[in-house]
Structure formats: C-alpha cells, structure tokens
Amino acid sequence: MPSWVRQRGQRPQRPQRPQPLRALATSAASIALPLLTALAIGLAAPPARAQGTGPDGSPPKVLRFALRVAETGFDPARVSDLYSRMITPHIFEGLYTYDQLARPARMKPLTAAALPEVSDDYRTWTVRLRPGIFFADDPAFQGRPRELVAQDYVYAIKRFADPAVVSPSWSEIEELGLLGLAEYRTEVRKRGVPFDYDHPIEGLRALDRYTLQFRVKETRPRLMETFAQSDLYGAVAREVIDAYPGQSAAHPVGTGPFVLTQWRRSSRMVLERNPQYRPRFYDQEVQPAPEDADGQALVARLKGRRLPMIDRVEISVIEETQPRWLSFLNGEFNFIERVPEDFITQAMPNGKLAPNLAKQGMKAYRVTATDVMFTVFNMEDPVVGGYTPDKVALRRAIGLALDVNRELSVARRGQGYVAQSLYMPNTTGFDPAFKSENGDFDPARAKALLDLYGYVDKDGDGWRDQPDGRPLVLESLTTPEAFQRQIDEIYQKNLAAIGLRINFKTGKWPENLKAMRAGRFSIWSLATSGSKPDGQDSLGRLYSGQINGQNYARFTLPALDKLYQQVSHLPDGPERAAVFLETKRISAAYMPYKYRLHRYITDIARPEIIGYRRSPFWLNWWEYVDIAADGASPSATPPAGASPASVASSSALSR
C-alpha cells in the first residue's frame, strides 16, 4: 500500500475553516472594457495590483527565463507538451502535489484537506477538500469571490471525456475505469449529442460541497498519483469555460499561486502573483530528510515565508540554442532552464561551473532527468509499420544502425547515456542493470537483417529497395533549429552506411506534434518526461487503449495489453517487477520505438535566485523560490544532489 494512502476508519481532525478572502466589488461597467481589451489581444485580465511593484510597494521580484520550444496553450484538458505543462501547474491545482524538497518523492495534500480515504480493495477513494480556497478573480465570476468546491473537480475531469474537447489525455482517464464515465462518452458519441456535464457519473461524484468520491471498476492502488498532476488535473471553473467559448487555451483561471496576464503566442508569457492566493508558508509545505543538510538549510532560511515569494514570472520562447544562451549571459534572464548541450562545455568544463560564471555568484544544478529520448515508428505506416517479420526486421535494423553514442558525444556533449528500455530513471520499472538490443549499435547485424528479409538493392542505384522491388525511402519529421540538424546528419549518415535513404520533413514542433497525434507521420524523434513516480505511464506508449493518447506508435498487441492490465492492478513488488521486465523484452523485439538515451539536465541560476531545486517529475516550483532584493545571495546554499559539481516523467512530450 502506498505510504501516502490513509485507510478508511482513520479520520483526520476536521480543519478549521479559514475566513473567506474578500474581493473588491466590481461592477459590470468597470469590467467590460478590460475584458474586451483582453479578449481582443488574447490575454488574461491583469490582477488589480500594479505590475511595477511588489505587494508592499517594493520593486517586484521577477523570475525571467526562456523556453526552448513554443507552448501550445493553457487548457489542461487539451495540452500534452512539456512546455505548456510547465506553465499550467502554476495556475491550476490538483488535489495532491509532492513535497518540493523530499527525496524520494512524497505525495502531500494541496487542495485536499488530508490524504485520501481508501477502501480495502482500492476501488473507492474519498477525498475531502480544504474549505476556503478561491479561484483567481475573473469577470466570469461577476465580481464575486468564487470558492473551490468538489464539483469543480468533477467538471474538470469530465472535460477529458467530452468528445468535443478532443483531449489527448482522455486515454489516461479512460484507463482508470471510473464507473460510468467511458460508457457515457460512448453514448454521447453514438447519439451525436453534446456532452451533458450535469449527467451523473457513478464513479465520479461530489458527495457534498467539499467531498469528492472516485469509484473504479478494478483495483487501482496508485489511483491518486494521476490526480496529483496539477498540470493536467487541476480544478477548472465551469463559468470560465462557458464565458469564453473556444478560448479555453488562452484564458486559464485556477486556484494556483500565479495568474496569466500576458500571452503572445510562441513568443512571450507573463504570469503574476495571484493576489487572492490563500496563505501557505514555506516551512509548512516542505519536509526534507534529516540528512539533507542543504534542504534543512533552505527550511531554516525561508521559514515563515508566505508562498509564492516572487511577484512575477516572464517567459520568452527562443528555439535556437545560441541566442538563448547568450541572452542568459547578457543578463536578459536570471535563470536558464536546460543549458543547451552545445554550450555545456563552456558552462560546465570538466563538470564544474565555469570560473567566469562562478565569480558572478551563479549556481549550477545538474540532475539525471526523468525522461527518455526516442525515435517512434508509426505502426500504421505502409513503409515502416506492421507486424510481419520483414517489417519488424526493418525497424530493428534501423535501431541497430543508429549510433547513439555519437549523438551523445558530438551533438549532446556527453549530456546523457544510452537507454536500454522504455522506462525512465526515478520511476518503477527502470533498472540500471538491464541490457537489451535497444541499446546496441551494430551496423553489421543491421545489414544482415535487411539482407535476410529481402531489403536489397534490386535496381543497382546503391540504395536498398523493399522486398517487392519498390523503392525504399524513409521519411522523418524534424524541426528547423541547428542543434536538431546536427542529430539528423548523424543518423542520415548512419542509415546511408547500411544502404537506407531517409528524407527529413521540417516543421515547427507544435505542428509536428499535431501530425503525430493524428497518425500522419512515418518516423519522428522526440522525448518524453515522467510526470509521476510509477512506470506505467511509460508502458502506456505500448498499450492499444492509449492510441491517440500516449501510444504515439499506434502499437497494438494483445499480449502487451494483457500485461498492461496486470501492471495496473498489481501492488508494487516482485510480481509487478517481473511484468515490467517482460514488457521490456516485447518492446525490444517489435521495436515500435527505438529508445535512444536518458539526459542529464543542467540549469543555471543567477545569484539572486534562492531555493531552486529541480524536481524528478512534478513541474511546479516557482512558488518555492525567492529572489534577493539586492541581486545577490552569497549565503544561499545549493540543494544536495544538485550542486555545481554533483549529479543528482502522464508523460509530457518535449524535444
């Protein structure tokens, strides 16, 4: 049983209800013009406080950094990319979250009043909300404070089932088996009628104003890990969705610590402290291990500080690595999220922060990422897809031909290591001792496989043809930046060495993502990051029930589906570990994905940023950092496992 589950019968002491926050009364006339202006330029209405000052009139504390890939929007039910999901958990809040300093990860209540009450068979989960939590002010609420209630989570989760929303995460919710939800979705689709959000769902109910109950068909020991993902499953107010039809991606309103005040698509985002955010204090929200000296030092330093501690976050989008790195060096940003690999030797020579950066008081944080980079093959594609021996041989030959170590040494400057399976570090299912063909580079074996199954040069042009004599030309999606071109050139040469041609179809990352989700692709290379501690998310990429969701390869195999169901219901232990092992073998045998590498990630912060620590998989951290008013923080101590000279994942897609 997970340590964070509270069994039925262990009732918590009922918390005192906080006094409601008072909001300024706003007339319809006073909100109309700001609202129309915001809608006209695609922005959220700004908070009442002036942007040029902190809450006490002091200069604002501003976190500034750049994303390497453009966001796609901020509607939790519609996003799947890492870059949008880095924003949404700061606006929306799930029932649970993770302790920012605890390692290993420890789940804790966020909007819930306590840990869930769970039936002995793990099929009924009851969660009580903390009263007195309010949504950020928005004209949709007509000038009245809007309290968070259990029905908001019911509504938010139902949105994933609404066919009109076309949620990429529906398959994750469907797989949970909430009683009646999938059946109602099927009925709606069959009848061609709108989704009725008032239709009762047996497995998803608000028992009263503050009590939420989940009932599932089968045992789900890890159910609440799903709803601890604030980036996807945070509470949404129905009034907001109704007030801005078709604009949910541009008008996010949640209960979280920040509100979106500016958005220029694929260019710039500004979020400001939510002035209605409830009292939360740093030392009450974190509990580092006793032996974590640096974590304990952060608690002592930030004790009593109310969250969030900063006033504003300004985010740009700079896809090319050199401008992003130079912008940080020039002081345009005070934080760089993921130092570009092609500049890592400048930033961290011999694994230590460069002397010129150290003299400025900068701090580097290097971790083993909970991610995996892979090449995905569309199993429905006529060239590389299919389950016959010749198609399997082609994919395996491509996998054997790819020199991942060269990608790591030349393009990524050693910032990672070769992957052996689909499972990510820091999650169950990952075994650092496991070895498979997935990690092999063997051009001779690749050629032998192609020869054996008839992929030979039949017309004498120097390139292999298909077994039936038709030309064999591979096609892969790619993105236009210089860094990706380095990787494409490596693999183009690798494949040419075994007689295979490949053409690259260049497009922006969001457009490629749409094409992949629709099945309009043959091959693409990308990455995914873990979003919870369990490895079943990774296995979802092979489960047929996740096609159009996490199963990007559109892979279908009954034997694998059966194993996926077993993993869903088994408790953690040797039996479940054995099932994970079998799935690794099946994945390597059929090769719907070539899992290439796991990355090391290095972030660098300027001296004024205090308290940063990269999490293994959760994405909300802005509320836990402070910015020194004098622009320097000589006494700040980098967290353990993330110092300049040390090395410390539903999955989010990234580049």
What percent of the chain is modeled with pLDDT above 70? 87
Higher pLDDT, 632 or 443: 443
Check residue 629 and give its pLDDT: 77
| Residues 80 and 653: beta-carbon distance below 8 Å | yes
The CA-atom distances, in angstroms, between 350 and each of 320, 336, 411, 567, 648 are 25, 19, 17, 42, 16
Residue 27's pLDDT is what?
32
Q: Residue 651 — pLDDT band, cuts 50, 70, 90? A: low
pLDDT band for 633, please (50, 70, 90 cuts).
very low
pLDDT at position 8 over 90: no
**Average pLDDT of 148-168?**
97
Return the pLDDT at 531.
87
Q: How far apart are CA 514 and CA 155, in angstroms?
A: 26
Burial 618-627 (b: 16+ CB within 10 A, else e): bbbbbbbbbb
- In this structure, what DSSP letter does residue 48 have? S
Question: Average pLDDT, stretch 496-522?
Answer: 95
| E strand intervals along 414-552 | 416-418, 473-478, 501-506, 523-529
The single-letter DSSP state of residue 349 is G
| pLDDT for residue 627 is more than 80 | yes
What pLDDT was estimated at residue 552? 95
Q: Minimum mean pLDDT among 1-5, 274-278, 514-518, 589-593: which range?
A: 1-5
Give me the pLDDT at residue 55, please.
Answer: 64
* Confidence category of residue 30, pLDDT binned at 50, 70, 90: very low
Q: How do residues 539-561 score in pLDDT, each as one tens digit?
A: 999 999 999 888 999 999 999 99
The pLDDT score that the predictor gives to residue 280 is 98
Which CATH fold topology does 371-599 show? Dipeptide-binding Protein; domain 3 (3.10.105)
Give the model's pLDDT for residue 372: 96
Q: Which pLDDT value is given to residue 652?
A: 58
Q: How far is C-alpha 561 from the geometric centre of its chain's CA atoms?
A: 24
Tell me how far apart the alpha carbons of residues 482 and 345 are, in angstroms, rounded to a whole number.
18
Query: Residue 423 pLDDT more than 90?
Result: yes
For residue range 380-400, list pLDDT tens digits in order: 999 999 999 999 999 999 999
Please state which of the ranges 47-51, 560-564, 644-648 shows the lowest mean pLDDT: 644-648
Q: Are strands 501-506 and 473-478 parallel, antiparallel or unpaired?
A: parallel
In order of 5, 111, 224, 270, the CA distances from 115 in angstroms are 6, 11, 10, 33
* Class in CATH terms, 39-273: alpha beta
Q: pTM of the prediction? A: 0.82
> According to the model, what pLDDT value does residue 143 have?
96
Confidence of residue 52 (pLDDT cuts 50, 70, 90): low
**Residue 57 pLDDT:** 72
On the question of pLDDT at 41 being above 70, the answer is: no
Distance between CA 235 and CA 245 in Å, rounded?
18
| Joined tokens for residue 537 | 């998310």
CA–CA gap between residue 88 and residue 86 (Å, rounded):
6
Quick one: average pLDDT of 146-162?
98
Instruction: Answer for the pair 441, 403: CB distance below 8 angstroms, yes or no.
Output: yes
- If 0-12 CB within 10 Å is exposed, 13-18 middle and 19+ buried, where does residue 330 land? exposed
CATH 3.10.105.10 placement within the chain: 371-599
Compare 507 and 7 and report the one with higher pLDDT. Answer: 507
Statement: residue 639 has pLDDT above 70: no
Tell whether the model's pLDDT for residue 315 goes beyond 50: yes
**279-288, 391-400, 539-548, 588-597: least confident range:** 539-548
The answer, yes or no, to whether residue 619 has pLDDT greater than 60, is: yes
Distance of CA 402 to the CA centre of its chain: 27
* Nearest of 35, 263, 57, 233 to residue 137 by alpha carbon: 35
Q: How confident is the model at residue 58 (pLDDT cuts 50, 70, 90)?
A: confident
Report d(CA 562, CA 567) in Å as an integer. Answer: 9
408 CA to centre of own chain = 23
The tokens for 200 are 């009762």
What element of type H or E holds 398? helix 389-401
Distance CA 391, CA 379 (A): 9
Residue with tokens 């991610």: 371
What average pLDDT is seen over the chain? 89
- Digit-coded pLDDT (tens) for 354-372: 999 999 999 999 999 999 9
In the chain, which segments carry CATH 3.40.190.10?
39-273
Q: Is the pLDDT of residue 22 over 50?
A: no
Say yes or no to pLDDT of 419 above 60: yes
Distance of CA 153 to the CA centre of its chain: 20
Q: Is the pLDDT of residue 334 over 80?
A: yes
User: Is the pLDDT reported for residue 34 higher than 50?
Assistant: no
Q: How far is residue 495's CA from residue 592's CA, in Å, rounded to a whole number?
A: 17
DSSP 408: I
When mean pLDDT is compared across 13-22, 73-82, 475-484, 592-601, the lowest value belongs to 13-22
